Amino acid sequence: MRNLLSHTVLTPIMIFFLLLTTNTIAQSDFGAGINLGGGTIGGNLPTQGAFTSSFFIEANPGFNANILTRLSFIYDTDTNILLPKTTGRYYPFIKGFSLKGVTSQILSGNIYIEEGLGPLILNDRTFDNINEWDLGISFSVVVGFDLRTLANSGFKLGAGTDYGLTFTNSNVRNFSVYFNLEYMIK
């Protein structure tokens, strides 16, 4: 049942995003990036410190030049995983996907602020006997430097925060503060 739920939910999201970007890459923005940082994860266990990471791709959906559609893969795990391992230890983690609408504004010169909002699906693996998929919502804010050239292709560097909250099954949640590196193609 759980595998059926994950395939039932993830497959339409992936197909939608791939079709959307296939039709619009030639005429609009496309970007890919990574976020690395720290934060917390929680669910059926008390909130605990976590190493947070995500990889994302984004494109302009074509209906509004100021909004990008961003698909992210999220992986957050217990900070103890960064320390030397002990045998037989289980490190809690969550993984999942978010699909956000992202907009950004120039604050001054090459300094920008970016906001994102959208649906989230997280796989709760906070205990070794839990494997629940939870649906929810994700919010993010990034402040950074836009290092792109006049042709509008290049890197963006920033620092941001992301909060994800789910409403089903184990109500897993994540919070992260991270460094952001993104490459944009115009």
State which amino acid sits at residue 60: N
What pLDDT score was predicted for residue 23? Answer: 47
- What CATH architecture does domain 2-185 belong to? Beta Barrel (2.40)
Which residues share a beta bridge with 113?
105, 143
What pLDDT score was predicted for residue 174? Answer: 95
Q: pLDDT digits over 26-78, tens only? A: 445 899 999 999 999 988 778 899 999 999 999 988 888 789 999 999 999 98
How many Å apart are CA 38 and CA 54, to the nearest integer? 11
How many Å apart are CA 12 and CA 34, to the nearest integer? 24
Residues in the chain: 186
- Decide if 50 contacts 42 (C-beta within 8 A): no
Q: Which residues, at least 6 apart from 27, have a Cβ–Cβ distance to it below 8 Å?
A: 60, 62
What is the H or E stretch that residue 178 is in? strand 173-185
CA neighbor of 43 nearest in space, from 80, 82, 93: 93
What pLDDT score was predicted for residue 24? Answer: 42
Q: Does the pLDDT value for residue 25 go beyond 60?
A: no
What is the H or E stretch that residue 148 is in? none
What is the H or E stretch that residue 18 is in? helix 2-24
- Decide if 82 contacts 62 (C-beta within 8 A): no
Q: pLDDT digits over 161-185, tens only? A: 999 999 998 889 999 999 999 999 8
Radius of gyration of the chain (CA): 17
Q: Does the pLDDT value for residue 6 go beyond 70?
A: no
What pLDDT score was predicted for residue 170? Answer: 87
Global pTM reads 0.81
Q: Which residues of 23-37 are buried (b: 16+ CB within 10 A; e: fewer)?
A: ebeeebbbbebebeb
Tokens of 159: 């620092």
Tokens 């804010």 belong to residue: 141
Quote the DSSP letter at residue 25. Answer: G
* pLDDT cut 70: percent of the chain above it: 82
The domain ranges of the chain are 2-185
Q: pLDDT digits over 110-130, tens only? A: 999 999 999 999 999 988 888
